[in-house]
């Protein structure tokens, strides 16, 4: 019994030590790596405007998003994404912005994460609006749907642990493409190579931590600076996030089916406030990861 516990402890300790050595020494060389490399700079921000309308001549399979009484999520997310691009290009010199969609037309979630990965994004910010489903009530024995407008404020999502297998295959692809090797010539994307497995786990852990940290920074700006209500940071399996091999956050900017939030989300001042908070959080995040890599 005791022996078993001791064995497990030694095993855990050696894994921890291996992880530490991974973080301390640059072991591999794929470009834009956020894991090791001293002198790392955050260069590319991917901005993802959630949803979109059906491209002409197509039917189905497109995600129109939620709607309020006078506006649609897909239009609000695009307006905020375009403003965010302008603000980052103005206030964060040296940082390039790539949009996953810049027109009203929808882009599939697979294509969105492809765009993010192809452009070697350092972070992925997905912009959405929240909405509550109708409540079902009974009146005189009849089922009726009653709009639930009680949701308000922001919510930040990062991908949950149960989805990281999908992220793994994206990271493995990235390792393969960049022909990552360590000093002994091991590594790369071979899933049976223990070095790959260790690298993969270290990268996954790092992305997850960085995603949660960035989400916390954004949440703090919304709450402390803008005085908004927040449902906090939660982990959830979000397809577009877990297929992007980089720290990723989905920002629910407000409840579009709550009249006060909808007015705020559609106002110039509301959109400007959301954008300014995102830029402050990204600036703080950039400084922290770059300082840590020095
Ligand atoms: Zn959405």
pLDDT, one tens digit per residue, over 201-249 is: 888 888 999 999 999 999 999 999 999 999 999 998 788 888 888 999 9
Longest dimension (CA), the chain: 76
Higher pLDDT, 242 or 263: 263
Domains of the chain (ranges; CATH) run 67-288 (3.40.630.40)
- Cβ atoms within 10 Å of 125's Cβ, excluding its own: 25
For the chain, give the percent of residues with pLDDT over 90.
57
pTM: 0.81
Ligand 1 is a single-atom ion; what residues have CB below 5 A from it? 50, 65, 128
Specify whether the CB–CB gap between 123 and 42 falls below 8 A: yes
Class of residue 256 by CB neighbours under 10 A (exposed 0-12, middle 13-18, buried 19+):
buried
pLDDT for 12 beyond 80: no
Tell me the CA–centroid distance for residue 130 and ligand 1, in Å: 6
Tell me the CA–centroid distance for residue 96 and ligand 1, in Å: 24
The stretch 248-255 carries a mean pLDDT of 97
67: β partners: 72
Class of residue 212 by CB neighbours under 10 A (exposed 0-12, middle 13-18, buried 19+):
middle
Tell me the CA–centroid distance for residue 239 and ligand 1, in Å: 12
Residue tagged 């949950």 (tokens): 160
139-177 residue pLDDT tens: 898 999 999 999 999 999 998 766 666 777 777 777 776
276-291 residue pLDDT tens: 999 999 999 999 999 9
Specify whether the CB–CB gap between 167 and 245 falls below 8 A: yes
Q: Which two tokens stand for residue 145?
A: 């749907």
Specify whether the CB–CB gap between 131 and 64 falls below 8 A: no
């Amino acid at each position: 019994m005791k022996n078993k516990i001791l064995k497990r402890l030694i095993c855990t300790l050696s894994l921890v030590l291996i992880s530490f050595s991974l973080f301390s020494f640059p072991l591999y060389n794929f470009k834009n790596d956020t894991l090791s490399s001293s002198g790392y700079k955050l260069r590319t921000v991917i901005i993802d405007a959630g949803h979109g309308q059906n491209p002409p001549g197509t039917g189905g399979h497109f995600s129109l998003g939620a709607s309020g009484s006078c506006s649609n999520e897909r239009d609000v997310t695009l307006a905020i994404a375009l403003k965010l691009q302008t603000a980052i290009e103005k206030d964060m010199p040296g940082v390039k912005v790539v949009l996953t969609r810049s027109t009203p037309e929808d882009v599939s979630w697979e294509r969105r994460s492809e765009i993010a990965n192809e452009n070697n994004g350092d972070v992925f910010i997905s912009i959405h609006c929240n909405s509550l489903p109708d409540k079902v009530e009974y009146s005189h024995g009849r089922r009726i749907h009653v709009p639930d407008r009680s949701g308000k404020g922001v919510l930040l999502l990062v991908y949950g642990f149960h989805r990281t297998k999908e992220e793994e295959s994206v990271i493995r692809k990235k390792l393969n493409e960049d022909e990552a090797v360590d000093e002994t010539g091991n590594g790369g994307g071979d899933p049976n190579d223990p070095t790959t497995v260790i690298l993969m786990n270290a990268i996954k852990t790092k992305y997850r931590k960085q995603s949660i940290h960035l989400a916390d920074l954004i949440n703090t700006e919304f709450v402390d600076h803008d005085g908004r209500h927040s449902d906090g940071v939660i982990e959830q399996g979000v397809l577009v996030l877990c297929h992007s091999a980089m720290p990723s956050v989905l920002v629910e900017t407000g409840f579009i089916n709550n009249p006060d939030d909808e007015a705020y989300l559609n106002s110039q001042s509301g959109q400007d406030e959301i954008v300014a908070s995102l830029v402050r959080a990204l600036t703080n995040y950039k400084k922290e990861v770059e300082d840590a890599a020095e």
